[in-house]
Amino acid sequence: MNRLGQVISGRYLIKELLGEGGMGAVYLAEHTHMKKRVALKLLHPEMVDNVEVSARFEREALASAHIEHPNVAAATDFGKTDDGTFFLVLEYVEGTSLRDALDAGPLSVQRVLRIGRQIALALERAHEAGIVHRDLKPENVMLVKKDDEPDFVKVLDFGIAKLLEGAASASEQIAKRNGGAANQPLTRMGTILGTPEYMAPEQALGEAVTPAADLYGVGVMLYEMLTGKHPFDPPDRMAMLSFHIVAPVPPMADRAPAIDVPPAVEALVRCLLEKDSKKRYPNARALADAIDAAATSCGIDMGLNVPAPVPSQPGSSRTVGGPAGSPPPPSTTDWVRNDAFAQTSVGLPATSANAAGGDTALSPAPATDGGGLLEKLGRQPRFVLYGLAAAVPLALVVVVVVMVLLFHGGKPAEPIKGKEGMTVTETKGKTAPADRVEAAVVLGPDALETLAKEYPDDPAVRQKLALAYQAQGKTTEALRSVRALLVASPAAASDDDIVQLVTAAAAKPQGTDDDEAFALLEGPLGERGVDSLVDLSARAVGREVRDARDVRLRATKSLAKPEVRAHASQAAGILLDFKAATLCPAKHDLLGRAKDQGDARLLPLLKQIKQSHGRGFFSRDPYPCMRKDTALEDAIAAVEARAPAK
């Protein structure tokens, strides 16, 4: 509908279309009596009967009207046109968006702190009024020239604000007036709210949203202002949510080596970007105080003569583009890019909107999708991941997001060809990020194989891969992975889990698998391999008599090989030599080594000799030479002293 030239509610003359979206349009208007320019938001006529859209629109008016602060663009009027269409009048802000300022590159530390402090003060007032913004981003922060302040901040667009307990009754009244129950959620699958690039981890996971989520958004913006880059750099925007949830925040020097950020300022930003909301600053006022303290510690003159709060002026939204203080060049494309309302589409296909997110504070509608989750995830736009976070159990959300992190995380490196022509990123000489290793463990061997190709020199990935195959009963693949691990990292031979894996495979003859297991025990596993062979050679015969005897016999034969015996530790060596000695003098000659080198495994043999002297008239002592001195008792006492307490 062409509304240019119309007068809304008898006093707002529509002069120009600034932007349009699925819900409605934003116009530049003029108050007919005061000759004051305002921004007028109008719902499309077809949205009037949409209970959810109407309730959300009215809630934006309620939120904006309850925040009276000089750093917040105020709502000044709300009502219905003669044809029943809702409209909202907002303060018109003449300036440039923070996004446009960032397009020119990083800002000075002083400028960042001044802007950040004003955002904090705006949030302090909003949170005191029981309102969480939930969509803080550079597009929603305007910089205006005001008196001597070239970067006077105006925070915009409370269209998806969450009303906290203090404003709950008003929110319930809105829902009732629009034909819904008081606690009826304003979210359904496909409704697009928020922006993943600035979304707090708890918000991305569908948990309750508190003022701490706004502080996280401020942290992302401060990081971006200081470095000129977003903290995370996923290969596509769909992976962004997973980075917020699990990826560590990179040091600013890594993202922008040429930028020198004072440690105190970086520490402030990192506090805001804590994954655990309880570890961030307790409130917006604490953030403002921290900014003041950081500036003082760095010797930065903040020029804190910020103008005192004044009543909000009537008017409306923003000016886009151009230097601060310049006349507003109306541009439909710029407005759509910068205005959350014009970006948002409700009731249309999700791909028609550019803003993304969801109403995480309220109960989501159950998902009705019956297709394969991973297949659909790969086909959907970036905001569908957030919809899943709000619609499925939290455990499944974690699996989904770490899967995205695994397959989309990391910086691009030289591609190599894997099996079936698949391109794999190889990062030689580097270790995989711990969060990606954990993610791959959740997903299983296939994901670990992919990560191992990307990080071929990381033993941790191959170790996890071997254990993952073992957990699935794939012994052949597990042993193959162990061999690759030992080639890449011989030190892995001391890994208890790896030794147990190979020993268990050797103890259960399965054709070719036990051949490989014994081959690993006889050489690559070194001392630990010999120790396992010793244990297998002495293993008691169980119900599977033939198999157990076969294992014992095979282990004994392995230990007889000189090349295997060469890998034995001193403790294993004296044990093997003591067993091999058949005559009493030969065993007696070994007691000195037994005293110095023997471990708990030797004790049963020594004690058996001590107790085996002859009994009765016809009995003969098989080891009479052991009684001629105290060498046997001395060896037993020394070994017992070294043996671990039971």
Give the amino acid at 98: L
Residues 466 and 528 in one domain: yes
Rounded Cα distance, 214 and 168, in Å: 19
Confidence at 416, pLDDT banded by 50, 70, 90 = very low
Which of 39-43, 253-257, 426-430, 433-437 is predicted with the least confidence, judged by mean pLDDT? 426-430
Question: Token match 């996004």: residue?
Answer: 99
Query: Which residue, among 260, 226, 233, 236, has the nearest Cα to 249 in the 3D structure?
Result: 233
Of 502, 532, 565, which closes a domain? 565
Residue type, 634: D
Q: Is residue 230 part of a domain?
A: no
Q: What are the pLDDT digits (tens) for 164-187? A: 644 444 444 444 444 443 334 333
Domain co-membership, 504 together with 537? yes
| Per-residue model confidence (pLDDT) at position 22 | 63
Q: 92 lies in a domain?
A: no
Residue 377 lies in a domain: no
Q: Are residues 459 and 531 in the same domain?
A: yes
pLDDT at residue 239 greater than cutoff 60: yes
Token pair 């015996």 is found at 565
Q: Are residues 505 and 597 in the same domain?
A: no
Quick count: other Cβ atoms within 10 Å of Cβ 597? 19
Please tell me whether residue 116 adopts helix, strand or coil conformation: helix
| DSSP secondary structure code for residue 193 in this structure | -
The residue from 77, 100, 135, 458 that is catalytic is: 135
517 with 551, same domain: the answer is yes
Q: Which of 71-75, 418-422, 440-444, 616-620 shows the lowest mean pLDDT across its residues? A: 418-422
Of 44 and 283, the one with more pLDDT: 283
pLDDT for 488 beyond 70: yes
Assigned domain for 458 exists = yes
3-state secondary structure of 306: coil
Please say if 49 is a catalytic residue: no
Name the pairing type of β-strands 162-163 and 37-43: unpaired
Q: Is there a domain that residue 472 lies in? A: yes
Counting the structural domains of the chain, the total is 2
Is 551 in the same domain as 594? Answer: no
Reduced to 3 states (helix: H, G, I; strand: E, B; else coil), residue 318 is strand
Rounded CA-CA distance 223/201 in Å is 16
141: left (phi over 0), alpha (psi -120 to 50) or beta: beta
List, as one string, the DSSP characters of 66-90.
T---TTBPPEEEEEE-TTS-EEEEE
456 shares its domain with 512: yes
- Lowest mean pLDDT: which of 62-66, 163-167, 452-456, 575-579? 163-167
- Count of beta carbons in the 10 Å neighbourhood of residue 169: 11
Of residues 224 and 377, which shows the higher confidence score? 224
| 544 shares its domain with 462 | yes
Whether residues 531 and 637 share a domain: the answer is no
Whether 590 and 561 share a structural domain: no
As given in the structure block, the two tokens for residue 381 are 């736009």
Residue 118 burial by Cβ neighbours in a 10 Å radius (0-12, 13-18, 19+): buried
> Where is mean pLDDT largest: 293-307, 366-380, 516-530?
516-530
Cβ-contact 626, 609 below 8 angstroms: yes
pLDDT for 179 equals 45
Lowest mean pLDDT across 52-56, 123-127, 550-554, 620-624: 52-56
Confidence band (pLDDT; 50, 70, 90) for 373?
very low
Give the three-class secondary structure for 210.
coil
User: In 3D, which of 561, 495, 510, 491 has the Cα closest to residue 533?
Assistant: 561
612 and 555 within one domain: no
Contacts for 403 with CB less than 8 Å, ≥ 6 apart: 242, 374, 377, 439, 442, 443, 447
Question: What is the C-alpha to C-alpha distance for residues 321 and 100, in angstroms, rounded to an integer?
Answer: 7
For residue 535, report the phi and psi dihedrals to the nearest 5 degrees: -65, -40
Query: Which position has the higher pLDDT, 135 or 252?
Result: 252
Instruction: With respect to residue 498, please indicate whether it lies within any of the assigned structural domains.
Output: yes
Position 471 in a domain: yes
Instruction: Give the percent of the chain with pLDDT over 70.
Output: 68
- What does the block give as tokens for 431? 């270790």
Instruction: Give the residue numbers spanning the domain of 526.
Output: 448-565
The β-bridge partners of 131 are: 163
User: Tell me, what CATH number does 521's domain have?
Assistant: 1.25.40
514: left (phi over 0), alpha (psi -120 to 50) or beta: alpha
User: Residues 513, 476: contact at Cβ < 8 Å?
Assistant: yes
Last residue of a domain, one of 535, 565, 595: 565
Tokens 């205005």 belong to 339
Res 315: pLDDT? 33
Same domain for 551 and 617, yes or no, is no
Q: How many Å apart are CA 550 and CA 572, to the nearest integer?
A: 22
Sheet holding 141-146, edge to edge: 96-97, 141-146, 149-155
**pLDDT of amino acid 386:** 34
**Confidence class for position 388, pLDDT limits 50, 70, 90:** very low
Is residue 532 situated within a structural domain?
yes
Q: Which residue has the tokens 């030794």?
A: 499
Band (231; pLDDT cuts 50, 70, 90):
very high
User: Looking at 518, 533, 565, which one is the last position of a domain?
Assistant: 565
